[in-house]
């Protein structure tokens, strides 16, 4: 199975973190569904052109979080993700992005009203593009 994860070798963010964040997002959002067999560690590392150790760490971290389960001799599968976990992840991820945007707006002396206006313009444009 091909997994739509892209790594940026020029990023300051470690490769394992880039992969882990994207894979977690794909699982929690339901893009990769419960019971899906993931590629072997070696195969996924080859696809991403990174170290087997990197992918092993990602799989182990996500297994420790309960998002993956490994069956000896069979492979690594996506575990059940409850609706509560999906909502929590969504709120946490979007919240972090919005906090960062507010911090940037404050650093350039953007007023609350200006920020709200910019935000609503972007939301309207992005949701119009989606339709």
pLDDT in tens, 75-101: 999 998 877 877 887 888 889 999 999
Q: What is the pLDDT of residue 48?
A: 95
Rounded to the nearest 5°, which phi and psi values hold at 63? -70, -40
Rounded to the nearest 5°, which phi and psi values hold at 49? 55, 50
- Do 55 and 22 lie in a common domain? yes
- Do 19 and 74 lie in a common domain? yes
Domain boundary among 60, 78, 96: 78
CA–CA gap between residue 69 and residue 63 (Å, rounded)? 6
Q: What is the pLDDT of residue 131?
A: 64
Range of the domain at 89: 83-129
In a domain, 111, yes or no: yes
Per-residue pLDDT at 103 exceeds 70? yes
In a domain, 23, yes or no: yes
User: What's the predicted TM-score (pTM) here?
Assistant: 0.71
Number of domains in the chain: 2
Token pair, residue 15, equals 């490769």
Condensed to tens digits (0 to 9), the pLDDT of residues 30-77 reads 899 999 999 999 999 999 999 999 999 999 999 998 899 999 999 999
């Amino acid at each position: 199975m091909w997994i739509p994860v892209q790594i940026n070798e020029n990023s300051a963010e470690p490769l394992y973190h880039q992969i882990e964040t994207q894979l977690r997002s794909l699982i929690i959002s339901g893009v990769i569904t419960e019971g899906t067999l993931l590629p072997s560690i070696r195969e996924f590392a080859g696809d991403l052109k990174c170290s087997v150790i990197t992918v092993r760490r990602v799989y182990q971290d996500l297994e420790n979080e309960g998002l993956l389960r490994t069956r000896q001799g069979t492979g690594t599968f996506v575990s059940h993700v409850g609706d509560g976990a999906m909502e929590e992840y969504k709120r946490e991820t979007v919240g972090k992005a919005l906090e960062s945007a507010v911090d940037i707006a404050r650093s350039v002396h953007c007023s609350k009203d200006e920020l709200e206006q910019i935000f609503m313009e972007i939301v309207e444009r992005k949701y119009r593009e989606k339709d």
